[in-house]
Amino acid sequence: MIMKKYAIATLILLSACTPRLGKTSVDKLVDAMTVEEKVRTVVGTFTDIATPPPVAPGVKNRADYPGSGENTVVSRNQVPGAAGDGYAVPRLGIPAVVYADGPAGVRIDPRRDGDEATYFCTAFPSGTLLASSWDPEAVEQVGEAIGDEAHRYGVDILLAPGMNLQRNPLTGRNFEYYSEDPLVAGITAASYIKGVQSQGVGTSVKHFAANNQELYRNGINEIISERALRELYFRGFELAVKEAQPWTVMSSYNKINGVYASEDRWLLTDILRNEWGFDGFVMSDWFGADDPVEQMKAGNDLLMPGTPYQIEELLEAVKSGALPMDVLDTNVKRILQIVAKTPRAQGIVYKNDPDLEAHAAVSRRIAAEGMVLLHNDGVLPLKTGGKVALFGNFGYDTQPGGSGSGYVNRAYKVTLDKGLEDAGFQLVAPLAEAYRNHISAEKALLPEEYFWVVPTASEKKVSIDEVRAAARETDLAVVTIGRMSGEGGDLSAAEGDYFLSAEEKQLLKDVRSNFKKVVVVLNTGAPLELTGVAELSDAILLAWLPGQEAGHAITDILSGAVNPSGKLPVSLASHYSDIPSSRNFGVSEGELNVVRYEEDLMVGYRYFTTAGVRPLYPFGFGLSYTTFEYSGFRFDGKDFVLTVKNTGPVPGREVVQIYVEKPALSEGRPVRELCAYGKTDVIDPGSSQEIRIQALRPSIDPLAQWTTEGWKRASGIYRFHAAASSEDLRVSINLTL
């Protein structure tokens, strides 16, 4: 009996002095860990590899590493379909946390073997649509809903938001990103991060930094001036990190000025931590980069999803001293500090019970709020109940989101034909039937859709007779033009991709010549070249990739149930060749896998307003069903203040942009830059709202400019414009700083 008591006493004593995550400091935890436990903590626990990233010429392919073949599976995800798991040390109370994608919603498997339950998630609108709302509160609500689903499904850290600058319209992942402007990108990302993290789960703001193309993404060497890095490619991340404190940052695959981002100490430690105060941990992108020891030393704390090769390399490096123990300890501590905050470490039991119906309503509302009305000669809004001749595959196979890690396994999607019918419109039946039969016949021959590949049918050919037959039933045509976007590949400046195809142009001509009213709906993840479309239509609605409630949200706008208030977060050029980076996209002339950002600061409206080249639809542009007048613009020492009056027929919201012209401290600076923005409440016809727009943010100084001595503010006269777009300056004031 005494022995038993003795044994129990010893056990209690032992457990009392064995450090436990959350109970004792991470310093003590790390002291109690073996070298193997430390090394395994900085490497994910592998998962089956479904999507090897495309490698650049001359870069080692993952399969080349010893011991980590195409499908290294050690631990099945605790949450099937999640992107990766951390390493558990149960004796120290350290759980294996779960990492899952993505920006438009949680991506996990919707079904599990031997389990009749389903695990669908809500497909929210893609990133560019969120940014097009210019509405931080709305974006935060989306973040809250996604964070809630992550929490309820047992995901500890969501691998989002993606926020790389949209340097060029051909980038394959533009749909996941926000804007050509770092302030819009930063504020949108910060709002998203706050929303997700308010639910008790973490985020991973990505991909830091300058992941601006898919071609050779995990090896391309980007040559970028420090000024362009600081003012464009880092700026949005700086704002998001300082204002929203993401739990983690995901480093990007690419090299910047010859150094892999995930091996770059200047980037991940000197700037991210020592300058910006980031206090979470950095993870690599999946199978990103090359040298695990260099990644550790740079401050890339976690290697995801992890491979056996990396563990061997690091154990070897600790033995040889190539990896100093204090570096390894630092990275382990950073990871443990965040792991301690996760629901799993808090012992929270998740119930797999999100309110998908409520979240679908959020998805529909923000989708309508982020769509951009580019052209309307009065044909919109449509009177419900009318008959619509609906043309274009994407009217019947509307795309909610892009493919790749940012895909969402949703329960359903509402296509535009369904959305129109649900709102009381009739469709021209023979036309609808022809499209539906064409699409289902072709899809029957295509592989099943899954996250990496979303097959779409070839665009149905429409004869002039079919157009004429439909025109005998109604005078209203809706023509949908669609493009899928996805991770792993860029668009090409070719017909049927960035340019309209010959068939699309012909269809527009045939429809124009047979219908009195023609509405074009763009269901696309990236800007297209739209020159000539306005001349062949009475309205153009840019619906982007609007999430699973796509058909309902598009119809909400077409029917006037929602008055459009979205504005472009990216310029739509008249011609691809007008875009400076078009001369250096993918690889630069004569280079193998080097791309030179020769355009420097001249990205998007920064170029168009400075060079006096008119884009087709400018950055910040978007129509409403009403009109607004600006007056009384002033700066009150803290905020910009302005009165916005609704001078039109219906209630609406207005996005007010403030651009600043700064005295230049160096050559090649843009004539004006966005320095603040705000969105009014709903203003009734004839009423006004005095809007106050925060002038200076706690995180970045939009009046500063990067010089060889760092951030500087020029002294002199600054000219501020309150504007409805980058080309539509309404009222201006001068301030001497």
Which of 181, 231, 264, 285 touches ligand GLC (CB under 6 A)? Answer: 285
285 in active site: yes
Half-sphere exposure of 619 (CA within 13 A, CB side): 30
| Residue 717 · residue 735 · CB < 8 Å | yes
- DSSP string of 235-283, one letter each residue: HHHHHHHHHH--SEEEEPSSEETTEEGGG-HIIIIIIIIIIT---SEEE
Which are the contacts of 357, defined by CB distance < 8 A and separation ≥ 6?
none
Q: Give one word for 112, left, alpha or beta, with left for phi > 0 and alpha for psi -120 to 50.
A: beta
Closest approach, Cβ 689 to ligand GLC, in A, equals: 39
Question: Nearer Cβ to ligand GLC, position 194 or 206?
Answer: 206
- 72 with 333: CB under 8 angstroms? no
Instruction: Give the relative orientation of helices 182-197 and 235-244 as an angle to the nearest 10 degrees.
Output: 30
286 is a site residue for ligand GLC (CB under 6 A): yes
* CA 299 and chain centroid, separation: 24
Write the interaction track for ligand GLC spanning residues 7-36; mark x where CB under 6 A is met and - where it is not. ------------------------------
Closest CB to ligand GLC among 83 and 139? 83
Member of 206, 230, 679, 730 binding ligand GLC (CB under 6 A):
206
Rounded CA-CA distance 369/513 in Å is: 32
CB of 662 to ligand GLC, least distance (A): 34
Our CB check for ligand GLC shows the closer of 399 and 405 to be 405
What is the DSSP code (8-state) at residue 617? B
Among 19, 44, 53, 136, binds ligand GLC (CB under 6 A): 53
Q: Which is nearer to ligand GLC, 157 or 427 (CB)?
A: 157
DSSP H helix total and E strand total for the chain? 20, 27
Answer whether 625's CB lies under 8 Å from 650's CB: yes
Looking at the Cβ atoms of 285 and 654, the one nearer to ligand GLC is: 285
* Beta bridge pairs of residue 283: 250, 302
Residue 251: strand pairing partners: 208
- Centre a 10 Å sphere on the Cβ of residue 50 and count the other Cβ atoms it contains: 10
In this complex, which beta carbon is closest to ligand GLC, that of residue 84 or of residue 551?
84
Least distance to ligand GLC from the beta carbon of 405, Å?
4
Report the distance separating Cα 455 and Cα 449, nearest Å: 6
Taking CB under 6 A as the rule, which mask of x and - marks residues 227-266 in contact with ligand GLC? ----------------------------------------
Contact between 382 and ligand GLC (CB under 6 A)?
no
Least gap, CB of 159 to ligand GLC (angstroms): 4
Q: Compute how many other C-beta atoms are within 10 angstroms of the C-beta atom of residue 250.
A: 29
Q: How many CB atoms lie within 10 A of CB 228?
A: 22
Toward ligand GLC, which CB reaches closer, 106 or 374? 106
Nearer to ligand GLC, 83 or 298 (CB): 83
Distance, CA of 310 to CA of 65 (rounded, Å)? 9
Closest distance to ligand GLC from the beta carbon of 595 (Å): 18
101 part of the interface to ligand GLC, by CB under 6 A: yes
Q: Counting contacts by CB under 6 A, is residue 214 touching ligand GLC?
A: no
Catalytic residue among 285, 397, 538, 556: 285
Q: Is residue 159 a contact residue for ligand GLC (CB under 6 A)?
A: yes
In the complex, least distance from residue 99 CB atom to ligand GLC, rounded to whole angstroms: 8
589-596 contacts at long range (C-beta below 8 A, 24 or more positions apart): 592/57, 592/58, 593/56, 593/57, 593/58, 593/59, 593/216, 593/219, 593/220, 593/221, 594/220, 594/221, 594/222, 594/223, 595/213, 595/220, 595/221, 595/222, 595/223, 596/222, 596/223
Question: Residue 253 or 720: which CB sits closer to ligand GLC?
Answer: 253
Angle at 307 between CA 301 and CA 308, to 5 degrees: 110
Q: Does 83 bind ligand GLC (CB under 6 A)?
A: yes
Say which DSSP state 162 is in. B
Q: Is the dihedral of CA 62, 67, 70, 73 positive or negative?
A: negative
CB of 156 to ligand GLC, least distance (A): 14
**What gap in Å lies between CA 211 and CA 222, rounded to an integer?**
9
Nearer to ligand GLC, 159 or 602 (CB): 159
Shortest Cβ distance from residue 710 to ligand GLC (Å)? 31
Binding mask 103-122 for ligand GLC (x = CB under 6 A): --------------------
Going 369 to 417 to 172 to 411, the CA torsion angle's sign is positive
Residue 143 as a binder of ligand GLC (CB under 6 A): the answer is no
Q: Are 552 and 589 in contact (CB under 8 A)?
A: no
Pick the binder of ligand GLC from 77, 300, 405, 415 (CB under 6 A): 405
Residues 686-705 that bind ligand GLC (CB under 6 A): none
Instruction: Return the active site residues.
Output: 285
Provide the binding-site residues for ligand GLC, judged by CB under 6 A: 53, 83, 101, 159, 206, 285-286, 405
